[in-house]
Chain A
Amino acid sequence: MWSIGDTKINSHLLLGTSRYPSPASLQQSILRAEVEIITVSLRRETAAKQQDGQRFWDHVKDLNVRVLPNTAGCYSVQEAVTTAHMARDLFATNWIKLEVIGDDYTLQPDPFGLVKAAQQLVLDGFEVFPYTTDDLIVAQRLIDVGCRVLMPWAAPIGSGLGLTNPRALQLLRHRFPKVPLIVDAGIGRPSHAMAAMELGYDAVLLNTAVAEADDPPAMAAAFAAAVAFGRLGFEAGLMEPRSFAVASTPLLGRAFTPAVAIERPS
């Protein structure tokens, strides 16, 4: 079990709700993953399509999961702050996955805008989950302004590349041992999620790898198992890698070796 503020959480997997082939597939994936937290978003709704949002909400609101609204698509501090307030009003939660995007091509977070928006939202009473890079100093600044959880990326959103810089993620874990850390974005395979958990991360947030699988509910189950086993391995204490061989079978008593002289008492 891990926690964010006063909230205790059992599952080490958070699931996004986008790009599924059908609402039923999304629902089944949430159930098979046994997640407690799903991410949702806010978008303009035209009069002609004004039931889309309601329909989506109807599909997820009774699944007994906590929603983590995001500010996806925001490119400025003001857009992100306003969207966060709208999400809080609509979803009745002070949790917000804060995204302030700085680059269209990579969807890389804008660290300067991110810290500024996080500072404002913490002052406004939000529990801010900042989607950030693996930069140590940005992480420190986010903590300085009151973030109690960090969500560094593994790789660009939707890329499926996995942990492109595991040493940076490991450094964040080492430097912030008490801060809940969630790898968010770039996870493509269950083994990627397991690797993140073996680093000591508290959770993994992913979407595309499940939603675009041939069988999303089955992939959701695979990811749930991967994060659970990764966490189990971390908690059990992983051995440190060595540069040279160390025999696992005892050398003492090895066959075909000279006898060891036994000293007799005089």
Chain B
Amino acid sequence: MYVRINGESRQVEESATLQQVLFNLGYQESFVAVAVNKSCIKRSDLAVTQVKAGDDIEILAPMAGG
């Protein structure tokens, strides 16, 4: 199935969790925050949150800011 990840269309496995999606994208050790369809998903819930077709996923990392 297809989802959008940081604005790009990506194919992910059916019924994958967010943690699995992050792992497959190479984010397994990364310090990132995730939102799905403009709602924040707590890091503690990534392993129990299933991705659905068409989900709009944002993956954000710390960055310098003023």
- Are A and B co-members of a single complex? yes
Interface residues of A (CB under 8 A from B): 16-20, 26, 39-47, 50-54, 56-57, 69-70, 72, 78-79, 82-83, 85-91, 157-158, 185, 207-208
The CA of A46 and the CA of B61, in the complex, are separated in Å by 10
- Find A72's partner among B7, B62, B66 (CB 8 Å cutoff): B66
Contacts of A57 in B (CB 8 A): 31, 61-62
Quick check: is B35 within 8 A (CB to CB) of the other chain? yes
The CA of A117 and the CA of B39, in the complex, are separated in Å by 15
Can you list 9 pairs linking A and B with CB atoms under 8 Å apart?
A: A19-B66, A41-B63, A43-B60, A45-B60, A78-B38, A82-B38, A82-B40, A87-B33, A185-B66
Quick check: is B47 within 8 A (CB to CB) of the other chain? no
Is A53 within 8 A of B66, CB to CB? no
Is B6 within 8 A of A16, CB to CB? no
Is B43 within 8 A of A82, CB to CB? no
Min C-beta distance of B44 to chain A, whole Å: 9
Quick check: is B48 within 8 A (CB to CB) of the other chain? no
A50 and B66 contact, Cβ closer than 8 Å, known pairs A82-B38, A86-B40, A90-B33? no
Chain B residue, CB-CB nearest to A158: B66
Is A72 within 8 A of B65, CB to CB? yes
Is B64 within 8 A of A19, CB to CB? yes
Interface residues of B (CB under 8 A from A): 6-7, 25-27, 29-35, 38-40, 42-43, 58-66
Min C-beta distance of B25 to chain A, whole Å: 6
Min C-beta distance of A180 to chain B, whole Å: 19
Min C-beta distance of B65 to chain A, whole Å: 3
The CA of A69 and the CA of B30, in the complex, are separated in Å by 18
The CA of A41 and the CA of B66, in the complex, are separated in Å by 8
Contacts of B40 in A (CB 8 A): 82, 85-86, 88-89
Chain B residue, CB-CB nearest to A97: B65
The CA of A45 and the CA of B61, in the complex, are separated in Å by 6
Contacts of A42 in B (CB 8 A): 33, 60-63, 65
Lowest 9 A-B CB distances belong to which pairs?
A: A53-B61, A41-B65, A16-B66, A207-B66, A85-B40, A86-B33, A45-B61, A42-B60, A43-B63
Is B30 within 8 A of A50, CB to CB? yes
Min C-beta distance of B35 to chain A, whole Å: 5
Is A50 within 8 A of B35, CB to CB? no
Is A50 within 8 A of B26, CB to CB? yes
Is B64 within 8 A of A18, CB to CB? yes
The CA of A17 and the CA of B64, in the complex, are separated in Å by 5
A89 and B33 contact, Cβ closer than 8 Å, known pairs A50-B26, A82-B40? yes
Contacts of B34 in A (CB 8 A): 86
Contacts of B7 in A (CB 8 A): 44
Contacts of B27 in A (CB 8 A): 47, 50
Min C-beta distance of A146 to chain B, whole Å: 20
Chain B residue, CB-CB nearest to A157: B66
Chain A residue, CB-CB nearest to B25: A47
A39 and B65 contact, Cβ closer than 8 Å, known pairs A54-B30, A86-B40? yes
Is B61 within 8 A of A40, CB to CB? no
Is A53 within 8 A of B32, CB to CB? yes
